[in-house]
Structure 1
C-alpha cells in the first residue's frame, strides 16, 4: 500500500474541527475522513491541525517573480513560493499591460498548467483576467499606461482561452456590460474591481453576471469618491451594494496593513464565511528582502518599495501585499471571532466554490484531490501535500531581491 497516506490530527472540516481524526488518501485522492484509521498497517503522518490546502483567486507573484513576466520560470517560481505558504491551488492574476504582455502571461500559465507536477508548487486552476479594464481614477499601483476601456476584439480573444476562468472589469466603463455578457457566455466567474461604480452601475452589471467585487475597501467606490464624481445627493457604491445583495461576494487582504482588525471583523460579521474569502494579492516582494521592485512585468511594471512588512508606491500608497495565505489566515483568526474552521474555510472552500472548482478542491472530503496541510498550534505551515505528494518546502524558499 505504498500509494496510501494517512494523516492524523485535529481535522479542519468545513463545518467543525474533528479532534483526533484521520484523513486517508490513495492515488492522489481523499478516500476517508473520520475518527478511525482505515489502514492500521500504514503509519500516520501526524500534525496538530490537518487542513485543506488554501485556494487563492487573486495573486500576482512572489519570490521576485510576477506572473506578468510572461515566462514559465517566473510562473513556477511564484507557484513554488505560494505552496510554501500553504496555497495549493491558485489563479495567476494579470495587471494592466499591453496585449502582448497579457498574451505572454496567459500562454506561460497555460504551459505550466499543462505540464504540472507536484514539485512545481501550487497548481494553476485558471487565470484571473484582472487588468487592464480599470477606471482611470482607480488604477492604483498598476501601470497606468496599460489601462484602457474594454476592447471587444481583445477581450474576446482572451476570454475564449480555456485557461481564463475569472474575469474583471470596472462596471462604469463603456463596453463593460458587453464584456460581462461575453464572460458569462464562456463560463467565467465575473468580478468588478478597480472601479468607482455607483449602485445602479453595479445593478446593471449584476444583471449581466457580475457576482463579486475585488479586495473590499481597496481601489473601490465609496460614498465620498462618488460625491467627487457626481456631487450631491450622495450615492451608494460597491460597499453598500455588496452588503445589501446576498448574491454578491467579495474578498479581503488580511495582511494587517491594508485593513484594520475592526474592518476585518466588520467584513466577517456582516458578509460571512460563504460570501467572503481571503486573498493574498501578493506581488514579487513576497519572501524577498526590503527594497525596490516592479509591480507587473519586470521590464515595464510600476516601481514599488518594500519595507519588509508592506509594499507601497513612491508616494506611500499601498501596493498589493507581500504576504502568503498562511499569514492572511493567522491575521483573520486573530482579528475576528470566527471559529478556526470558518477562518480556514474563507481561505479554501469559499474561494473554491466562488471560482467553480469545489468539486475537486477546497476541503477535506472523500473524492477530492489530496491537497493537505499540516499546521502547528499557531497555524504555521509544517508540511504541504499536493495531490498526495509531499512538497519540498525548501523549493519555495526565500529568493534574493
Structure 2
C-alpha cells in the first residue's frame, strides 16, 4: 500500500480554510484530513506544501478545447490533448462539451470521449466525468461563436442515440425550441444535469422547462435572454426572462466564466451574492487556444468550425463579440476570488464541489474528504498551480509518476 501525506499547507474545505493541515492518501483515495501530525503513518511519502493551499482537484462541466485541440475534432488524440492541457491548470475531472455540428461530428466526438474515458491511465490528463451535450440545440440568433448553419431543433430519433452512448451527463437545449420538453424529460430520465443555454426563452418557457426537469442555465449573462430581448421576440407586455427566472428560483443553478473578460467584477460578485456558492459553478468554456499563442483558430470541428481570434486573453468572434475563453480553471478561481471579491473557500467550492454535486459525482470527487479520490491541487499563495495529483498520482508536464516529489 502506497501512502502519501501532504503537510504544512492550508486545506481548502467547502466551508472554511484549515491551516496547518495534514492530508493522508492511501493508494488512490483520501483517508484523513485534519491537523494531527500523529496521523502521518510511518513510511509514508511526505510532501511539504511549504505554505501552499491544498485544494481538491477542479471540476469543469463546460469545456470545449485546449492545447490547440477541440473535442469536436472527434479524435482520441484531440480529446487526450484537451485533457492533458487542462490538467496542468488544476482540472482533474472535466466534461468535454459539444459545439454545434453535424450528427456524424457529434457521434465522432462521443466515441472519442468514450475511448479516452475507458482507456484512462496515469498519463492521460484530466479524467472524463461525462460529456456535456451542448450544441446543436440552440435558438437562432443566440448561437454566439457557434456555427449557426448546423443549429437545429431536437428530434427524439437523433438525441436518443446520443444518450444511448451512455456518456452524456450534462444536456443543454434552448427552452423555447419545439421538442425541448421531450428532450428535457428524456435527459432527466438519463440522470443528466439538464440545462438551458443559447436561448431567448421567456419566464413561462423557463417554467415549463423546469417542470420537465431543467435545473441549470449555461454561462450566465452570455447568449441568454433578458426582458428586452424577450419583448423583441414576443411583444408586450414585457415578460420575465432567463435572468429573472434563475435568480428567483432557488433550485436553479448557473455558471459564470470568470476570466475577467466576459463579466465585470460587479457581475461576478452579484452572481455569487444572488445564487451562493452552492448554486453557482465556475466554468472555463475554454476553446482550443488555451496555452497557445495569439492567432486565428477554429471553434468546434477543425474541418469546418467557425473562425475566431485569440488575443491571448480571450477569444473574439468579431469586433465586440466574444468567442469563448482561453484561460484554465486556475485563472477562473483567482479572478473570482481576487476581482470578484469572493472568499477563497467559496471560489474553490464553485470550481469543485458545486459542479460535482450538480452532476452527481460528489461521492467520489469535489472536496477533500475521507473516501474520495485523491485529486488534489497545490496552489501557491498567489493561487498559481504548483502541483496536481490525480488519483494520487502527481502530474508533471502531462506525465504522471506515482507520488513523485
Q: How many residues end up aligned between the 2 structures?
A: 395
Kept after mapping to 1: 8 A contact 2:125/2:398: no
- 1:7-156 equivalences under 5 Å are 7-8=6-7, 9-37=9-37, 38-41=39-42, 42-47=44-49, 48-156=52-160
> Alpha-carbon deviations, 1:301-344, whole Å to 9, x = none?
00000111111113441001000000000000012332211110
> Alpha-carbon deviations, 1:222-276, whole Å to 9, x = none?
0111111122221110110010000000000000000000000100111100000
2:169 and 2:152 mapped to 1: Cα distance?
Answer: 21
Kept after mapping to 1: 8 A contact 2:124/2:398: no
Kept after mapping to 1: 8 A contact 2:257/2:284: yes
Question: Residue in 1 aligned with 2:4?
Answer: 5
Tell me the secondary structure at the aligned position of residue 373 of structure 1: strand
Question: Residue in 2 aligned with 1:399?
Answer: none
1:151 and 1:394 mapped to 2: Cα distance?
Answer: 40
1:46 and 1:253 mapped to 2: Cα distance?
Answer: 33
Question: Residue in 2 aligned with 1:178?
Answer: 182
Question: Residue in 2 aligned with 1:163?
Answer: 167
Question: Residue in 2 aligned with 1:352?
Answer: 356
1:102 and 1:43 mapped to 2: Cα distance?
Answer: 44
- Structure 1 unpaired stretches of 5+: 397-401
1:203 and 1:382 mapped to 2: Cα distance?
Answer: 44
- Structure 2 unpaired stretches of 5+: 401-405
2:342 and 2:74 mapped to 1: Cα distance?
Answer: 38
2:324 and 2:340 mapped to 1: Cα distance?
Answer: 22
Kept after mapping to 1: 8 A contact 2:123/2:398: no
1:337 and 1:305 mapped to 2: Cα distance?
Answer: 30
After superposing the two structures, state which structure 1 stretch, 324-333 or 178-187, moved more: 178-187
1:69 and 1:87 mapped to 2: Cα distance?
Answer: 21
Q: CA deviation at 1:221?
A: 0.3
- 1:205-220 equivalences under 5 Å are 205-220=209-224
Q: 1:284 aligns with which of 284, 288, 308?
A: 288
Q: CA deviation at 1:40?
A: 4.5
Kept after mapping to 2: 8 A contact 1:158/1:164: yes
Q: CA deviation at 1:162?
A: 1.1
1:315 and 1:109 mapped to 2: Cα distance?
Answer: 33
1:71 and 1:341 mapped to 2: Cα distance?
Answer: 37
Q: CA deviation at 1:395?
A: 5.2
**TM-score, with structure 2 as normaliser:** 0.96
Kept after mapping to 1: 8 A contact 2:259/2:327: yes
Tell me the secondary structure at the aligned position of residue 138 of structure 2: coil
Kept after mapping to 1: 8 A contact 2:137/2:174: yes
Kept after mapping to 1: 8 A contact 2:122/2:399: no
